[in-house]
Structure 1
Amino acid sequence: MKSLELVREGAVWKALRTAVRSFVRDRSGSVAVMAALAMPVLIGVTGLGVEVSYWYLTQRSMQNAADSAAIAAATNGTVNYSAEAKAAAAKYGYVHGANNISVTASNTAPCPSGGANCYSATITGYVPLFLSQVVGYRGTATVDGSQQTMLSAKAVARLDLMPREYCILALGTSGIAFGTNGAPKADLTGCSIMSNAGADCNGHNLGADYGDAAGKNEGCGIVQRSDVPPLSDPYAGLRDNLPADPCGGKYPQMGTADFPAANTWNGTVTLPAGPKNVCGDLVLGGDVTIQTPAEGAILIIWNGQLYTGKKPSGRTMSTNSGSALTIVFTGTNGGYIHSPSGDGTLDFAAPTTGPWKGIAIYQDPNLTTGVDISEAGNTPTWKITGMVYLPHASVTLSGVINKSSNGESCFGLVVDNLLINGTGSILSTGGCAAAGLDLPTGTAPTGRGTLVM
């Protein structure tokens, strides 16, 4: 009996082992179980892949918009650059302030080549999450109560800087350094102007090719720019070429009893190649023709004016063919006039070589009094080829400035501040290279913005 029970017990265990082995070996249904377990992961990974592709496409679109916005800001180059950038981004569907989109611009962005005068545009936006949440991704921001991912794009551009020559440069740095006073017939065609402060040409752009201002430009020039970097004084260093004062403190003024006859010129006056010094006023007693060596001459007037006489007997000082002249006004501040005056005519050309090449009239930059000119171009009439340098002078241009009879079509004017009055105009431009004059040159913004980053 006991043996039968043992036999039966062994059979049961054998049957049980067989059943367990069969169960373990049976694979039917395992794929479904594994698929069920893996499905959330597969869905999450697939969703994340789709969303990453969507983020990439959105970010790429943002980058294109940012590139366009930065170029637009740089091309604009004015105080309105930010509005220009936002308008460019809006064309791509990125409207500042709409749908949590932010478009910002700067005109002080660091440039890769140095400096901080580039233009940047940054676009920021958000995209919602979809299937990526299945794998636990919660985005980078909460917007309107939902989890989203922030995307952004940035671009940096600069405005191509091209050399620009100015026939008029106002060095004053405050207020309005260049302006007009009712000048509907003024004509500066072929001339570009630069103000180191503001510029205001009410009602008439003067016909100047370009008008640039370090401050705000209101109406000056056919093409007008504001916020242009100021231009340094290009001619101040020429003062180093002046000799020591030879006058011994004596500077006779016209009309006084001791005014010397040598300070009144008539007829043909021959000047040497070196400086010709005149102490005190120089008066034209009649028309004067200046004859110089081929390289020109320098007439230096110490603490005095060049007086051309009153109407109807205004006289002319001119250079003959083959001669060239620079007139320098220097001395000390005080009760002296350091400029041309009178109702006559100045008709001369500057030297084309040497240290004073291209300079027709030069006021010592150390002089700050007695330097203003109330009716440039009229008293006296200017027929000048070359640069008139009056760095601390307030000048009113009232007449027509033409080229000298024996010179090229070239005129330049550097002042502290300039007011163009009535029909003031410059008729002589385009020949400064032949005249030996290097006009003031800046790198004012022109052309189109270029991406740099």
Structure 2
Amino acid sequence: MKTYLTTTDESGSILVISALCLLMFLTILGFAVDFGHFLLIKRNMQNAADAAALAAALEARTCNGTNVCAAMQSAAQNAVSENGLTASTTLTNCSGTVGSGMTLTLNNPPCAVGTDPNLNKTNYAEVILSQQVPTYFAGLMGLKSVLVKTRAEAGRGLGSGPCIYALNPTGPAITIIAGVIVRSRCAVVDESTSSDALTCVIGAFMYAPRISVSGGSSGLLCLASSTPQTYVPAPNPADPLAYLPAPSNAGAACGTSTSSPYSGSSSAVNVLLGGNVTFNPGVYCGGISITAALASNIKFNPGTYILKDGPGLLGITSGGLNITLNELSSITGNGVTFYNEGTQGSINVIEPVSGGSLLSLSNVSLSAPTSGTYAGILFFQAHGSTSTGVFIANLINNSKLEGAIYLPDADVSYGVSALSSSYNILVAKDIHLNVAIASAFGNDYSSLAGGSPLNGNNVFLVQ
């Protein structure tokens, strides 16, 4: 009988299993390291994309209607660099080939996502950062790099905030005279901290969604259905249009034209008689004075008009813009901004009392640009100029003054009825709402590519 000896030795199997487990553990650890590395890079790229989108949106207003202008590209590239990254390739408006390094794609308006609710809206900027990131351990498995991509979108709000600002921190900043009715579809801000910051007389009425007063109000039966909120902190910034720069040609030499069509002048331009007169943008030393007689047809072509002090009639220094409305006159100007740089004249649009009953036969249509630096700005008086502005007219028959009246250091007397204006903005040191007239302020900014100019430099991230 034979005897057999059997042994069971599993040490080799355990070694193999341990090795396989260790390899699996190292593989998982390697992928975890790679994944963490990708997340870190993606977070840094997202921060840079957010900053680039905000910076680009901030510059959109300065592009004068050009999509992805040089200023937007420079702002986005600088924002990426300031976040410690370098974009070797820059693409625009969803076109071009991605580079081998980090690629910055800047779109204005957004175009990368077909379901984006802001698609084709020019007041939004879209930034996409992408790059191939090399792997550490995954490369051993044949995965040499992974595409990391981030996206951000920023824009300016269209907003429906206040459209009337009185900037004077003392005294009665807003005064409403008896017989005046003011209806505003947007809020009113009175920044005076005086007890009589908002002053009105019996029979004056103001209707607005909200009336915020930093001080108190005085008067009797003057606000009908809209009760002011008094002793409210002033907004920050106090002046919502303070960001606006002076026009680049504000310091340019006077124009030389002496007859229509004008393109600037070295002395005051006075239109006293009827006929056809055309104005082009330029520097007008001595200002522009229009006393439109019967059957006048006056046209302002689009652009910025610089108004400076200069020699006027009889050698007396004059300046500013003075428009006196008379019967059967037509004064038009679409896409215009009047910038008053001088101190000897202000911006005045006045209807003579004697002509009020016949003004329905006249047409006055002035509107601000819809894009560019001065989008929504119709009248702009330089900081430091205290020349009082007067806007008094009963504009009917499809007439309008559409755009902002911005006289930051001056008083404005206002009493304009212009039923066809989509939006009106009034920002001045002191505001006097007077003359027995019904004034209306609108807040439909849909015609402006960047929304209301009162949004200023406020941008926000959307995605």
Larger Rg: 1
| TM-score, normalisation: structure 1 | 0.48
